[in-house]
């Protein structure tokens, strides 16, 4: 059987090397540089309106992530007998120069001076320029270990 010529071997070798280079160039992952940390916001200077329960606003904070904004309101209980209630928390804020509102629903259950958190995720994400006001409304009393009614459909 005759041996392939040196020219054929070189041509085949160049084709293989070219195929590997092209595959590597087009299949490698694109490096966008280091990942940017999510944009966050935080304030302890918003107006608190809580006529039904005595609270102190410690902080409203959040993180704007790709796809959602994560919100949290941190309160301290100022009620002598403790803070136990189902609540609706409305956050009035400014986003890109426009007024906006977000509603959080949560249970407060803490003794005097203890901290509590109410939070949620919001989709789509929003930029937060400034928090204007936090309004806390008690929607129902909360008694630990009390049975909760099942909602009717």
Q: How far apart are CA 12 and CA 67, in angstroms?
A: 49
**CB-facing half-sphere around the CA of 61: CA atoms within 13 A:** 9
Task: Decide which of 67 and 34 is more confident.
Answer: 67
Would you say residue 58 lies in a domain? yes
C-alpha to C-alpha distances, 30 to 17, 24, 26, 37, 74, nearest whole angstrom: 22, 12, 9, 19, 40
pLDDT surpasses 60 at 30: no
The strand pairing partners of 106, in sequence order, are: 87
Per-residue pLDDT at 89:
97
Residue 45 belongs to what domain range?
39-141
CATH code: domain of residue 96? 2.60.40
Give the number of domains in the chain.
1
Would you say residue 44 lies in a domain? yes
> How crowded is residue 70: how many other Cβ atoms within 10 Å of its Cβ?
16
Would you say residue 152 lies in a domain? no
User: For 129-145, what is the mean pLDDT?
Assistant: 89
Highest mean pLDDT among 14-18, 57-61, 144-148, 149-153: 57-61
Q: Is 35 exposed, middle or buried (0-12, 13-18, 19+ CB in 10 A)?
A: exposed
What mean pLDDT, rounded, does the chain reach?
85
Task: Decide which of 137 and 8 is more confident.
Answer: 137
Would you say residue 153 lies in a domain? no
Would you say residue 19 lies in a domain? no
Indicate the pTM of the whole model: 0.70
Task: Decide which of 7 and 114 is more confident.
Answer: 114
Predicted confidence band of residue 5 (pLDDT cuts 50, 70, 90): confident
Would you say residue 128 lies in a domain? yes
Would you say residue 147 lies in a domain? no
Would you say residue 34 lies in a domain? no
pLDDT surpasses 80 at 148: no
């Amino acid at each position: 059987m005759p041996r392939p010529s040196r020219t054929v071997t070189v041509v085949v070798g160049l084709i293989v090397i070219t195929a590997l280079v092209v595959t590597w160039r087009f299949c490698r992952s694109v490096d966008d540089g280091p990942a940017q940390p999510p944009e966050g916001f935080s304030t302890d200077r918003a107006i608190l309106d809580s006529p039904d329960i005595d609270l102190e606003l410690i902080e409203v904070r959040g993180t704007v992530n790709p796809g959602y904004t994560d919100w949290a309101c941190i309160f301290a209980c100022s009620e002598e007998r403790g803070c136990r209630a189902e609540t609706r928390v409305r956050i009035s804020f400014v986003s890109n120069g426009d007024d906006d509102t977000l509603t959080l629903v949560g249970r407060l259950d803490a003794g005097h001076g203890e901290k509590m958190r109410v939070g949620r995720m919001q989709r789509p994400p929003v930029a937060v320029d400034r928090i204007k006001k936090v309004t806390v409304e008690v929607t129902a009393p909360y008694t630990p270990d009390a049975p909760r009614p099942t909602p009717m459909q």
